[in-house]
Amino acid sequence: MHILENTALSLAIADKGAELSRVWDKELGCERLWSADPAVWNRHAPILFPFVGKVIDGKYRLNGREYEMKTQHGFARDLDFVCTEEGTDSLCQVLCSTAETKARYPFDFRLQVRHRLDAENPRLLHIEWEISNTGGETMYYAIGGHPGFLPPEGARKEDCLLGFPGKSELHYISANPAGFALPDTVHTLRLSDSRVPYGATLPETWIFEEHQLDAVQLLRPDGSPWVTLHCEAFPILAVWAKAEGPFVCLEPWCGRTDDEGFTGEIAEKVCEEALAPGETKRIPYRIEFHR
């Protein structure tokens, strides 16, 4: 476990999954990230790679061949990354393809994850993923974040608000009980002052597609900001929670779970990313933990 800290925050980041595992607010004296209680949800903020969500029947297709991917959200969250650079306010970790990963995902890759505390705003965390295709053929992948945020102490998540800065109306799809997207059923979310009560008609998962959002907020019951996630680089933003858990996940995605009944190849998946041989892509986002 690696520690990054400044005057406002102390972060713990694991080598397993390069997962942000704790955000302790030094000024407020409280934890800001979900505890990963296995009785409810055993993750803090996993990185979803090389799949976001599930594939139908635990299988996907590439160039006419079928591969198994029985785990949800790929495999990066369960593998050990190697720390390549560490300071008091910045950490870099890397995962590379192996014979084990290629049995399930036949691409050579390098995934670098950097966490960095902002030099000017001590409450701002920068996260950047650098994905490289180190093989000789076009590489298809999805990647996403899945941080689970706790509400302010003394408040239930059901009493909080969700903020969508600058928006008056949004459109979202949801997922069926098996976790597959329902793209033909588009719902409209009408906002008052760019916000909506968290408990207002939420399904378990909201999926906002087509670059509708540059940012999303978890707001205190009085409407003041508690967490802001800036996600300009992402075509999809999801909001997810479990009824029995006191947390809300704000999830920036490039790619997503299969559509219900999907039978196409990996290249045909919604918002699937592609890298040519030797190509690298950097995908940043930011999380601000307001005081």
Predicted confidence (pLDDT) at residue 154 exceeds the cutoff of 60: yes
pLDDT in tens, 236-282: 999 998 888 899 999 999 999 999 999 999 999 999 999 999 999 99
Q: How many CB atoms lie within 10 A of CB 205?
A: 20
pTM: 0.94
Distance of CA 246 to the CA centre of its chain: 18
Q: Are 260 and 176 in contact (CB under 8 A)?
A: yes
Q: What is the pLDDT of residue 228?
A: 98
- Rounded to an integer, what distance in angstroms lies between the CA atom of residue 252 and that of residue 31? 22
pLDDT in tens, 164-216: 999 999 999 999 989 999 999 999 999 999 999 876 555 578 999 999 999 99
Domain that holds residue 106: 2-289
| Residues sharing a CB contact under 8 Å with residue 117, sequence separation 6 or more, in sequence order | 4, 5, 6, 9, 11, 89, 90, 124, 125, 126
H/E stretch holding 115 reads: strand 109-117
Q: Stretch 280-288: mean pLDDT, rounded? A: 98
Q: What is the pLDDT of residue 245?
A: 87
Return the CATH number at 193: 2.70.98.10
- Rounded to an integer, what distance in angstroms lies between the CA atom of residue 148 and that of residue 259? 24
**Count of domains forming the chain:** 1
Q: Stretch 142-158: mean pLDDT, rounded? A: 94
What six digits make up the tokens of 62? 């590439």
Residue 56 phi, psi (nearest 5):
-55, 130
- Rounded to an integer, what distance in angstroms lies between the CA atom of residue 274 and that of residue 193? 37
Exposed, middle or buried, 185 (CB in 10 Å: 0-12/13-18/19+)? exposed
